Chains A and B, each alone.
Chain A
Amino acid sequence: MSFAILLAALVAFGAVTGVAAGVLGVGGGILMVPFLTLVAGMPQHAAEATSLLVVLPTAIVASLVLHRRGVGDLGLALRFGVIGAAGAAGGALLALELPGRSLRVVFAVFLALVGLRLIHDGLQTERT
């Protein structure tokens, strides 16, 4: 795949994850990491790192929109997010210590759990 085609595919796939995030409330990362590893052929660590860099602007834009509408408390969210940031640095350091293959299996287990929860939620939802 040439680099230009890959970039175009990435923009298109980014749009799909954005739509899915808006519709299902599932973040983009859950879709981007498998796409980057399975389709774009990226190693697991690079896929996770790249996914996080996409999550950041998406979260900033969404937070500002919701803040303007008066939903939630952005100041409080940022404050508890700072503690979360310490956890994120720790989690990333742990991931970097793991071999890519093991990290991928951990991710797959997490993905399966999220999938099963969505199926469970879907079955609980009233038919429309």
Chain B
Amino acid sequence: MQDAGSPRIARARFVDPQLLAIGLAGGVLSGLLGVGGGIVMVPLLVIWAGYAQRDAHAMSLGAIVPISIAGVLTYGIAGEVRLPEALALAVGAVAGARVGAGLLSRLGDRPLKLAFGSFLVAVAILMAIRR
């Protein structure tokens, strides 16, 4: 950590209130919607807390570990977790993540974001209207 990353990293030996607020926001969103919470934590870490993009990404992923454990336990106690489906998805996701990181450097950002963004909006509409 001495050579790379934002200067914030080296100084942050304790957890400041700003990080706690970001963790809390990410956690609530994660538990409520079943997502990781990185979608709010990464921008907050960059824009509000001043982390470099790469560090913010790593910090968000690290925070998602305890966050998702708490979410899984809470839903698990309520009997909502489907284990076989989760295992099947996880096998694919862990393998896919390696491929995705490699593709990142080769694909154009702009068409991907436009296509994917439009896709998400369409899925959102479908989810809202279907019973």
Can you name the residue of chain A whose Cβ is closest to the Cβ of B58?
Answer: A72
Specify which of A29, A107, A121 lies most central, judged by the most chain B CB atoms within 10 Å of its CB. Answer: A29
26 residue pairs from A and B, CB less than 8 Å apart: A18-B94, A19-B96, A22-B99, A23-B112, A25-B42, A25-B57, A49-B75, A58-B97, A63-B65, A72-B62, A73-B58, A81-B27, A83-B27, A84-B30, A84-B37, A85-B27, A88-B37, A94-B32, A96-B80, A104-B128, A111-B124, A118-B114, A122-B117, A123-B110, A123-B114, A128-B108
B99 adjacent to A29 (CB under 8 Å): no
Can you name the residue of chain A whose Cβ is closest to the Cβ of B123?
Answer: A34
- Number of B residues near A (Cβ < 8 Å) is 99
> Do A20 and B100 form a contact, CB below 8 Å, given A77-B62, A80-B63, A125-B109?
yes
Residues of A within 8 A of B47 (CB): none
B58 adjacent to A54 (CB under 8 Å): no
Q: Which residues on A are within 8 Å of B, measured CB to CB?
A: 3, 6-8, 10-30, 32-34, 36-38, 40, 42, 45-63, 66-67, 70-74, 76-96, 101, 104-112, 114-123, 125-128
> Do A59 and B119 form a contact, CB below 8 Å, given A88-B74, A91-B28?
no
Residues of B within 8 A of A36 (CB): 85
Binary per-residue interface labels of chain B (70-103) against chain A in the complex, 1 for a CB within 8 Å, 0 otherwise: 1111111010111111101111111111111111
A48 adjacent to B33 (CB under 8 Å): yes
Q: Which of B23, B31, B54, B97 contacts A62 (CB 8 A)?
A: B97
Can you name the residue of chain A whose Cβ is closest to the Cβ of B97?
Answer: A18
Residues of A within 8 A of B101 (CB): 22
Cα-based distance from A110 to B110 in the complex (angstroms): 22
B127 adjacent to A84 (CB under 8 Å): no
A7 adjacent to B121 (CB under 8 Å): no
Residues of B within 8 A of A71 (CB): 4-5, 54-55, 57-58
